[in-house]
Amino acid sequence: MKENLVYMLCCSNHHYYTGWTNDFIKRMSSHQKGTAAHYTRAFVPKAIVYIEVFETRSEAMRKEAQIKKMTRSQKEMMIHEHEASTSAFLKEHPFQFE
């Protein structure tokens, strides 16, 4: 079963890109190849800094919209609060940007 999740990437310009997916590895591979989003084509992702899994697609999409309205400091606080769960997810689904 595919998981609905929201993620944040730290990009080469030190800004965060937020997105959602139900196929984590495929989406991260697309970001790495430069085929996922115009933003990550211009500002290459360097690290996955936040992941949160949701039951439904609509919950994930709502959270993505909420994050996109946050300030940088609010995003950084959320990244810190979810550090353990993000690390646990990445241990189960390893992915590294080159």
pLDDT of 19 > 80? The answer is yes
Domains and CATH numbers, the chain: 4-92 (3.40.1440.10)
90's CB contacts (< 8 A; 6+ apart) are 48, 51
Judge whether residue 43 has pLDDT over 70: yes
Over range 17-46, report the average pLDDT.
95
Residue 77's identity, in one-letter code, is M
Of 22 and 2, more confident: 22
